[in-house]
Chains A and B, each alone.
Chain A
Amino acid sequence: MASEARPAPAATERADAGSNGHGGPILDVENVTKRFGGIQAVDGATFEVAEGSITALIGPNGAGKTTLFNVLTGFYPGDRGSVRLQGRQIFRQPPHRIARLGMVRTFQITKALAAMPVIDNMMLAAPNQPGEKLRNVVLRPVATRRREREAREQAIELLEMFDLTRLADSYAGTLSGGQRKLLELARALMTEPRLLMLDEPMAGINPTLGARLLEFMQRLRAERGVTFLFVEHDMEVVMGHSDRVIVMAEGRVIASGPPGEVRRDQRVIDAYLGGSAPPSEAGSSP
């Protein structure tokens, strides 16, 4: 399956990437490695994320999911490998540049900008605001004000969708944990992302809100064509809600495919139950 995509020359891939909806991978990760001292946290991870899919990245604790996430989004510099977003190489690019290319992440522990009002959290994320450059504050006040108006409208629309409208003027730090999760998702959407990367969105929230989050993902894909890659360590959560599942263990991708298939995969079962390396690798006696 992956071998079909590989022979395509780079030029074609890039042309494809230019026009949306070509069905090819929006994200193409090859042989990414990351070592911390003596620990090989990510050990040659290779996978693809299809455009318009909801893909789950799962694996037992310590499998390297979050580290891989940080390498993909530029927060950690990777050691080796290739990461292409819509055909464009982004490996070892700084986080803000990756975010501007349309791949935007959230954090496992929410990062609400606590001492800023909710509406400012939202408007901050709006792209292409000329007034974020100091010289434009002086030179382009009209364009700045126009963009602010647009951004405020978009922000209010999104806050409505996430049921946060009445909190617009509250400090983000006063929100409950669940509301912060929603705010972080809404804020990420303000950037008009192509690919949203959610790091354990279900962690630390009640099952009702977890279900709502998953519904939001479905809806955003349908309405806005957003692709999702999310990290989760509980396998049951992802079964009904993702098109594809990528399974990591000990820094490697050990399986990927539709949820039902992956669940029956012996290597996945071993990784979850035995907590050791997949049988195909050496040195994995319990």
Chain B
Amino acid sequence: MSVAELLALDLDGLPLAVDLGNLTDLNFLIGIAGVLAGVYAIFALGLQLNVGFTGIVNFGQAGFMAVGAYSMGLLVVKAGFSFWLAMPVAILIAIAFGLLVGLPSLRLRADYFAIATIAAAEIVRLFANNARELTGGNQGLSCAEDDPTLCYDNTWLDIEDAGLDFAEGLGWSDPVSLFPLFVAVWVTVIVLTAILYYVQRSPWGRVLRAVREDEDAARALGKNAFAYKLQSLAISAALAAIAGFFLALNVNNISPREFEPLFTFFGYGVLVLGGLANYWGVALGSIIFFFLIEGTRNIDLGFTDEQQAALRFMVVGLVLILLMAFRPQGIFGKREEMVLGE
């Protein structure tokens, strides 16, 4: 069923040369673009905290997401943890990894720190790809080898069934299978955004901004800039881990392919669209970004698959170029802050 049918609109009557039918399909809106946009909104909230509010350029977010997702999966499948215990423990592991990366590298100049984080993230991904005994290598991780019924997403699948039954009970005859995940992701996005927004307005958040503006000035006023940068990175790693859980639940299989550096830069695309130093812009930026990326896959323009695949990134690139030309601060960003911040 599509939105068009729900709203009783007759799209066929519109004078469109291309078929937009897939774009209005609920499976696409909720299942593909909706869930992905939510996952990357959480992912990019961490980047916003680092880049937008602390001024540290973290290029390793995909690595922190991998640590979170793999830790959760392995704790359930290999260590017999419950899904609910595995998640907080995995968050702690991601935080510990963030501190491990940050302690030696946050004293470096900004650009060297960026290089150190991308290296750390690649180490995680390549390790996951090669440690087949532990992670399943490029086959991915989903269930225990000796017990194919023990999978990391068992608990979630039960919740999902309950959610779908509930939706049917409300009169939705054929609910989209990813609808429960969509709800869980977006509730999490909203809660986390609200928390970060509140915390950023505190004196703690003010020190972060001061560190972003001028670390030496902050230190001269008695602020331990290094400790704040470390906290920022650790919280960002925790957010990446949470994004990693949802990503793992979305694909039913944790594989190194999901954690390529490209995804970190998708996160930066989201930031640029939404605007720096604004948490609410992250969700909107993510929705636009993933509707462009996934939507261009679905519009039928009569091209071959290869042409279509190339077109997706051209469209995203074009949108970003237009944004830079006409609204360089992003949708929610403040122009003054961008100009004055140098």
Interface residues of A (CB under 8 A from B): 73, 75, 94-97, 99-100, 104-107, 111-116, 120, 123-125, 127, 129, 131-134, 137, 144, 147-148, 171-174, 187-188, 190-191
Contact = CB atoms under 8 A, between A and B. Distances in A.
Interface string B198-215: 110011101101101110
Sort A-B residue pairs by CB-CB distance and give the 10 closest, nearest first: A173-B340, A131-B203, A111-B217, A99-B222, A113-B213, A115-B341, A115-B337, A95-B219, A114-B340, A137-B202
B227 to A, nearest CB: 9
Contacts of A190: 221
Given A107-B216, A113-B209, 7 more contacts: A115-B209, A116-B209, A116-B210, A125-B221, A129-B203, A137-B198, A174-B340
20 contacts: A96-B219, A96-B221, A97-B222, A104-B221, A105-B220, A111-B217, A111-B220, A115-B212, A115-B340, A116-B210, A120-B206, A124-B207, A124-B221, A132-B207, A134-B204, A134-B231, A137-B199, A137-B203, A144-B202, A173-B339
B204 A187 contact: no
B237 to A, nearest CB: 15
Contacts of B204: 131-134, 137
A148 B199 CA distance: 15
A104 B342 CA distance: 26
A252 B212 CA distance: 36
Given A114-B342, A124-B210, A94 B220 contact: no
A68 to B, nearest CB: 16
Interface of B: 198-199, 202-204, 206-207, 209-210, 212-214, 216-225, 231, 336-342
Contacts of A107: 216-217, 220
Contact of A132 (B214, B223, B338, B339): B223
Contacts of B220: 73, 75, 95, 99, 104-107, 111, 188
A73 B337 CA distance: 30
A96 B225 contact: yes
Contacts of B219: 75, 94-96, 99
A113 B214 contact: yes
A100 B213 contact: no
A127 B203 CA distance: 11
Nearest to A134: B204
Most buried by A among B207, B218, B221, B339: B221
A171 B204 CA distance: 19
B76 to A, nearest CB: 30
Nearest to B339: A173
A171 B336 contact: yes
Contacts of A129: 203
A113 B217 contact: yes
Most buried by B among A111, A112, A147, A172: A111
Most buried by A among B213, B337, B339: B213
